[in-house]
Chain A
Amino acid sequence: MIAPKKQNLHGNPSQILPSELIDRCVGSKVWVVLRGDKEIEGTLRGFDVFVNMVLEDVTEYEITPEGRKVNHLDQILLNGNNIAVLVPGGKPEDS
């Protein structure tokens, strides 16, 4: 990995690494947009170097031609392979 230049850090003291950002989400709600028409929301319990994630009280949204399908799950291990976007705090409609 290429380390950020020192002067950049001085210019932007709030800069954090992506992995730190995910680490700060542990214990709180996250909204995960996957490749393909799927989204997952749940409480982040942990993750690993591949950003495989353990999520709890999960809601799965699937966008199909017939409309949005919703599915509830207790606890899942989400494969990091298909993650496109991770939004800390959960889906905006909830807040």
Chain B
Amino acid sequence: MAEGQSGAKTPADFLKSIKGKAVIVKLNSGVDYRGVLACLDGYMNIAMEQTEEYVNGQLKNKYGDCFIRGNNVLYISTVRQA
């Protein structure tokens, strides 16, 4: 379907470009996870490292490694580097 997109950055390209980088993962529930993206798969299942869980902008939890089930993911965002 995406054959018309020459020079476009498809979701697959984006995912390749953010591996090993700091990301924010927002879930449908509104909870944010900030950490380093280890890897992900076609279901948007995500493995993250040094993960911090934010609820309403407040840090609630820290996980060394964590697995997020893809169906809960609203978006994956790059982190603006200061």
Contacts and interface: CB of A to CB of B under 8 A. Distances in A.
A45 B9 contact: yes
A46 B78 contact: no
A79 to B, nearest CB: 5
A13 B12 CA distance: 34
Interface string B1-36: 110110011111111000000001000101000000
B15 A26 contact: no
B2 to A, nearest CB: 6
Interface of A: 19-20, 23, 26-27, 34, 36, 38, 40, 45-49, 52-54, 58, 62, 72-79, 81-82
Given A47-B2, A47-B11, A73-B78, 18 more contacts: A20-B4, A26-B8, A36-B28, A48-B11, A49-B2, A53-B11, A54-B11, A54-B13, A74-B79, A75-B14, A76-B76, A77-B11, A77-B14, A77-B15, A78-B75, A79-B44, A79-B74, A82-B74
